[in-house]
């Protein structure tokens, strides 16, 4: 359980995967996963396929990631959220804020 990040600097992409519960306990690990992403135009894929639960602090962390990538002129795509996580994203209107790939 936790956070992993795979980067491809040549393609200016990074995939951050959250496994298990996405809540405040992962705040530092989540921040550590993206703070070294500094290439302009970086596309971050936030893989939620193994995320079983997320709370409001996780939504806030995603917004902080968006702020970081916006400063780089990059973008974020939410990838493969589980049914439960997708429901939370829908209630919070994140589908209007960020693209979601199923």
Tell me the pTM: 0.94
Look at the chain and report how many structural domains it folds into: 1
H/E run at residue 22? strand 13-22
Nearest to 54 by CA among 78, 87, 77, 79: 87
Domain extent at residue 68: 2-101
CA distances from 80 to 71, 83, 89 (A): 25, 9, 12
- SS3 of 52-84: the string is EEECHHHHHHHHHHHHHHHHCCCEEEEECCCHH
> What CATH number should be reported for the domain holding residue 22?
3.30.750.24
Query: Which residues lie across from 8 on neighbouring strands?
Result: 13
38 DSSP 8-state letter:
-
H/E run at residue 91? helix 83-91
Question: Tell me: the pLDDT tens digits for 20-34?
Answer: 999 999 999 999 999
Residue 67 pLDDT grade (very low, low, confident, very high; cuts 50, 70, 90): very high
């Amino acid at each position: 359980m936790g956070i992993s990040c795979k980067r491809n600097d040549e393609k200016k992409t990074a995939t951050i995967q959250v496994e298990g519960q996405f809540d405040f306990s992962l705040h530092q690990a989540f921040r550590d996963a993206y703070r070294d992403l500094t290439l302009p135009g970086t596309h971050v894929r936030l893989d939620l396929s193994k995320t079983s639960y997320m709370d409001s602090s996780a939504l806030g962390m995603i917004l902080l990631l968006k702020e970081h990538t916006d400063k780089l002129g990059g973008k974020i795509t939410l990838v493969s959220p589980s049914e439960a996580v997708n429901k939370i994203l829908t209630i919070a209107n994140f589908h209007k804020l960020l693209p979601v790939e199923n």
